[in-house]
Structure 1
Amino acid sequence: MRAVTVTPGTPNSLRCVPNWPEPAPEEGAILAEALAVGVCGTDHEIIAGHFGEPPPGTDTLVLGHEALGRVLEDPTGTLRKGDLVAGIVRHPDPVPCPNCAVGEWDMCRNGQYTEHGIKALPGFARDRWRVHPAFAVRLDPALTTVGMLLEPISVVAKAWDHIERIGKRAEWKPQSVLVTGAGPIGLLAALLGSQRGLAVHVLDLATTGPKPDLVRALGATYHAKPVAELDFEPDVVIECTGVPRVVLDAMCKAAPNGIVCLAGVSSGGRTIDFDAGALNRALVLENNVVFGSVNANRRHWDQAAEALARADQGWLNSLITRRLPVERYTEAYTAGEDDIKVIIDFTA
């Protein structure tokens, strides 16, 4: 069995092992054959040695957290043989903390959660994998070519869920959303905004490549300019770049009673001049909210599966800029200039 692995903490230890062991039964009752895994920035950071944690008792981590598989067996009867399935990435901590105890492992307080392909659980970039029924999500059969997008769209499903919960603090009828960054997370955030009937605006620096057309295909407006130069104030901002200047400008741009969700992670180590007092004044006097959002729980994964099934399949396929067989895994994990989403195809 093939598996794409790294030694966490050791830069450039990426390799494909041709004789990886079959998944152990304790990994879960559901056995699936891998169809594909998506590649994302988290994978690049693990490969660079910045973070990642192997399962206990080993120094090797199987990569892959954006999974799509087909059920081979499920003795519990939760799924049927042949079902499309994705595995939920994060599992609750063993203590558990108050949030993990009620199924909100995305809000874990003590950091003892585990994550497939990231932290202490083997990932899905192998020919076969197992998952516990409670962490298996059935996908619509029509999603055979795009179902690996479920993990990234679950992240923005959570973001939208929390935006709408915060909005209920007062009478609030949002009309517009600004998404900063037209990578996979940004484009999927825009998709969910369009599904909600909002006027969607996406901001990115790219003027060529597929991004502008993908935004326009949603009926949204594409902006290739700084946030500060926009001539409107959105009710909702979803910031997906993590770029400090964009983050701060986005926080200042929201309309009164606006909600700003920070979904991009900054690398840190950069200092910029900024009028923090003016930001404080605007947030307080306009009743604005700024919050961070990462990961997703079961509720969000189910919401994401419904959103994927409703989306235009041609548009979703257009997000995938490269599909490569396992044998070309090094190419898959090498970023390309116009990449949006790169997929490793285990069936090729």
Structure 2
Amino acid sequence: MRAVTVTPGVPNSLRLVHDHPEPPAEEGAILVEALAVGICGTDHEIVAGDYGEAQPGASTLVLGHESLGRVLEDPSGTLQPGDLVAGIVRHPDPVPCPNCAVGEWDMCRNGEYTEHGIKALPGFARDRWRVQPRFAVGLDPALAPVGVLLEPTAVVAKAWDHIERIGARAEWQPQTVLVTGAGPIGLLAALLATQRGFSVHVLERATTGPKPDLVRALGATYHTEPVAQLDVDPDVIVECTGAPVVVLDAMCKAGPTGIVCLTGVSSGGRRIEFDAGALNRELVLENHVVFGSVNANRRHWDLAAEALARADPAWLNSLITRRVPVEAYAEAYTSAPDDIKVVLDFTA
């Protein structure tokens, strides 16, 4: 069986092995044939040796946390052979903490969670994988070409879930949304915003390539100027770049009682001068909320599946800018200038 692996902590240890063991039964009752695996920034960090943790007793980690597969067998009866399925990435810690105990494992408080293809659980970049029924998300058959987008969509579904919960603190009638960044997370955040009927603005540096047209196809407005120069007074900002200057400018840009959701992860190591007192004054006097959001629980994965089913399939398909056969795995994990979402294709 083929599997894409790394040795965590060892830069450029990416390998395709052809004799990887079949997934053991203890991984889950549902046996799945891999169709595709999406690649994101986290995968690149793991390949670079910056992150990643093999499962106990193993020296290598199977990559892949953005999954799409087809059920081969499910003795539990949860799904049927032939069904499309994705595997939920994060599993609760074994203690469990109060959040993990009630299914909110995306909000784990002690850090003992595990994640497929990232932390102590083998990933989905292998010909066959297993999943427990409660971590298996069935998909509409029509989503076969784009179902691999479910994991990043779940991330933004969680972000919107929390934005709406925070908004309910008062009489909330948002109209305008600003999304900073037009990578996969930013574009999907904009998609979910347009599905909610908001006036959506997306900020991105690129002036060429597919991103401007993808934003406009949603009915949103595309901007390339700095955040501070935008003639927009957003009720909600979804920050998806992690760039420190953009993050700070976004925190200052929200309108009265505005909500700023940070989904981009900063790399750190860069110092910038900033008037923290002015920011504090703005946040307090305008009743702003700034919060971080990462990962997703089962509720968010189900919401994401519904959002994808409502979206234009052609638009979703346009997010996938490269589909690379597994045998050309090294090419898939090498970034190209106009990449949005690169997919490792197990069917080619």
Q: TM-score range by the shorter chain?
A: over 0.9
1:96 paired residue number: 96
Query: In the alignment, does 2:60 pair up with 1:60?
Result: yes
Superposed CA offset, 1:150-173 (max 9, x none)? 000000000000000000000010
1:118 paired residue number: 118
1:302 paired residue number: 302
* Other structure's SS at 1:71 match: strand
By how many angstroms is 1:19 displaced?
Answer: 0.8
1:195 paired residue number: 195
1:331 paired residue number: 331
Superposed CA offset, 1:225-261 (max 9, x none)? 1000001210000000000000000000000000000
1:24 paired residue number: 24
By how many angstroms is 1:297 displaced?
Answer: 0.3
1:344 paired residue number: 344
1:46 paired residue number: 46
1:254 paired residue number: 254
Query: In the alignment, does 2:241 pair up with 1:211?
Result: no
* Other structure's SS at 1:154 match: helix
Q: Report the residue type matching 2:210 in the other structure.
A: P
TM-score of the aligned structures, taking structure 2 as reference length:
1.00
Q: Which runs of 5+ in 2 are unaligned?
A: none
Superposed CA offset, 1:247-292 (max 9, x none)? 0000000000000000000000110011111100010000000000
1:172 paired residue number: 172
1:321 paired residue number: 321
Task: Report runs of 4+ in structure 1 exceeding 2 Å deviation.
Answer: none
* Other structure's SS at 1:76 match: coil
* Other structure's SS at 2:98 match: coil
* Other structure's SS at 1:99 match: helix
Distance 1:321 1:225 in 2: 25
Query: In the alignment, does 2:168 pair up with 1:160?
Result: no
2:284 paired residue number: 284
Q: Report the residue type matching 1:197 in the other structure.
A: G
1:133 paired residue number: 133
1:185 paired residue number: 185
Distance 1:208 1:231 in 2: 22
TM-score of the aligned structures, taking structure 1 as reference length:
1.00
Q: Report the residue type matching 1:319 in the other structure.
A: L
* Other structure's SS at 1:215 match: helix
Q: Report the residue type matching 1:145 in the other structure.
A: P
Superposed CA offset, 1:118-158 (max 9, x none)? 00000000000000000000001001110010000000000
Distance 2:301 2:232 in 1: 32
Q: Report the residue type matching 1:85 in the other structure.
A: V
By how many angstroms is 1:52 displaced?
Answer: 0.3
* Other structure's SS at 1:281 match: helix
Superposed CA offset, 1:71-95 (max 9, x none)? 0000000000000000000000000
Structure 1 vs Structure 2: percent identity of aligned residues? 81
* Other structure's SS at 2:12 match: coil
1:225 paired residue number: 225
Q: Which runs of 5+ in 1 are unaligned?
A: none
